[in-house]
Structure 1
Amino acid sequence: MKINEEKVILEENEVSTIIKEKEKKGIERENEKKILVKEIKKIGTQISYDYEIDRSLVSLLHMDNKLKIDYSIPIEDVPDEIAVIPFITGILPMIYLEDITVVLDRIDKDFYEAFDQIREGYKKMLPKGEWKGKIEAKEIIDHSKNPENGKSSVFFSGGVDSTSSLATHIKEKPEFILIWGSDILQNNEKSWETAKQIAQNTADQFGINTNYISSNFRFYLNENALTTKYRELLPVSWWYDVQHGAALLGHVAPIAYKKKLAVHYIPSSYNIHDKNVVCASYPTLDEKMKFCGCHIIHDGFEMTRLEKVKNICDFQKDSKPKITLRVCCTEREEEANCCKCEKCYRTIGELIACKEDPKKFGFPITEKEIRDIKKFFKKEEVQGTAVRHWKEIQNKMLEDQKYFKKLRYAKWIMKFNFDKTKRKDFKKEMWDENGEKI
């Protein structure tokens, strides 16, 4: 019997290739970075998480400060597949960039399907990154029929963006959601109480429910280490560029389940005219998020900031509520706004451009102090985006020069050359060269 030696050699090579591929996959599985969610503890209003991580992730996650979230409503009956979502979204970009496999028992079907879509959003925003990672769950559970029509919520900080969203959707009476641990850190109790009081006062005027969340989600991962590691990819910082949008939205999931929400609004910071923006909260990311039948709307993206202020002013005239805006970037213990920082000045300018008295909206500023804003621009650095907002204020005032020339304290705005102001480096403002917070 004649043996075809070429065929035998070919078959041996094929077998060898198959074996090598299997061995390679086996090695890849052994080297796979994993986060194992062992237990989700729900006691009263609090959720905490017990999880194990690979040794390679120790520098990126603080295992001595695991995620804990406290809600203002009981959450013991929220199923694990929903309760786990805030944990995953808080580290979502890390899961993608570090190619982590999250292993757990159960996951919500809507969120499981959104996981890949959100990753595609990150890829488009930051194409130089390698966005991988996956979720391995024993069960995928469908809660898509949970919502009731017309039920909605909104992140409400009391700022221009969220107050404009309230004005737009007031007929829905969207439930307010505030998170302590985001822009106001958990060690700043007095500022948090001020923010809560402003939100509660606004909610009470319209019979709106408020939901409060306290979370250490900015501290169960190492923001500084992640910013440093991905410095070449991130224009500003981990928190600003990739984390905060998904992390905030994930906290809504247990409330959405309990309250049967169909829609959650996240007020936009940018608008449709902003191009090539890198920001963790953007329509191409936020609107990919979904859980238990609740979808996300990145709200007000079609409006400029000045248009939002005009929307608020019209709302105030129509419904006569007392609106206090909280826009201040500085840490305040009592009043909502310092009336001395650029963001306060900007909002004051926008209110004046809309022919409104800033005092009515929470800015106790005198005419002399408004005149003195010009001195601020002559000596201080401001962000480039702020300059654009001020030029919009200027153009609005130039449309009615006769009216604004009568305002001696504000007419300087029409003549001021904002293009000559010193520009602030946003990255240097937030992080030093070692990736540490300043």
Structure 2
Amino acid sequence: MKQTDLNVFEQYESEVRSYCRSFPTVFNRAKGSKMWDEQGREYIDFFSGAGALNYGHNNDQMKDALIDYIKEDGITHSLDKATTAKGQFIEAFNDIILKPRNMNYKMMFPGPTGTNAVESALKLARKVTGRTDVISFTNGFHGMTIGSLSVTGNAMKRKGAGVPLEHAVTMPYDRFVSEDLETLEYLERFLENGGSGVDIPAAMIVETVQGEGGINAARFKWLKKLDEICKRWDILLIVDDIQAGIGRTGTFFSFEEAGIDPDIVCLSKSLSGYGLPLAIMLSKPELDVWKPGEHNGTFRGNNHAFVTATAALEYWKSDDFEASIKQKADMTHDFLHRLVENYPELKGTVKGRGLMVGIACEDDGVAEEVAAKAFELGLIMETAGSNDDVFKLFPAMTISEDELKQGLAIIEESVKNVVKEPVLN
């Protein structure tokens, strides 16, 4: 088979491409937690499609369900018509995910990506409350369309909008300033004081663990207080669970252990389970005040994704799956803490929850060097944070313990190469 020249992408694809610069090879096959390039070189995948492949590549039960559906000429494109595939997903999601958690949400299918879910959530919050502004948080990332960018913190991404990003107010995330400053007291003072210049917003939007923003995990007590403030002031709470949800932090929804009750939840990425585009916006039934067609999209309702998403929900019928995620997360956290202790030159801090973790490096460029060396040694992982100061571990939830250990060993070897002299305990 003829191999693809990397110059094809350099010559014909837009300069906006990014991941192919970090991983300069041509991939052509993937299975489970591994990828292979055209030269046959094997890589362990700790990237997981930026959280879109929590169940790994080409999961057999999802693949078989999809192939059967296609071979039977199942509906592919349907806008928001009623289809068998959509009906089966709705019933399974309600029975397997919502009911056991005593959750009552209406499901809305916007366009098939995460930013579509966020845009619909912002629009609904403003429609329901009649208010304009939305409070977001420092280092938050919610998507690349205009509404989503307005509640995103990253300066480079915001600048790309090319127009003023309005009707959003940014407040400090948990521990943004320091460990000691209670940021929600600061926020609430703005709501209380008529001279603050901050109007009562339609909603607050938050990630319980900030992915692109640097693997910043909010404390449960902070999330609880945020929920209480929203309820006290009749402000809708939107949880963006696009990257942190679908098991990434250990439970299906990232906010479960915090015990909070969001009004709106945005899901995408690993919702389909197979890497197919699918997004959903969950809202409390009393908030579902849309007029028919008031928010729509040509590709809302991706039937192939409904098929794989329904198959993926089978994992959540038993508590064993969550237990397996916790076991692998504990192993990963233990490794990261040992790594920071054994290599003080890394000047690292462990961050995150579950299998959404990383190490923040104090010195500029170190995290990028570690990720680049890991790629040379056969591991794919990315960096995060406003200055790319965190190397970020996103192994699949279905990864075997042996593969997990192999990947962690490559990370240690990469760190050793970058900082040179370890201090062994």
Fold-level similarity (TM above 0.5):
no
- More relative contact order, 1 or 2 (CA 8 Å, 6+ apart): 2
TM-score by length of 2: 0.24
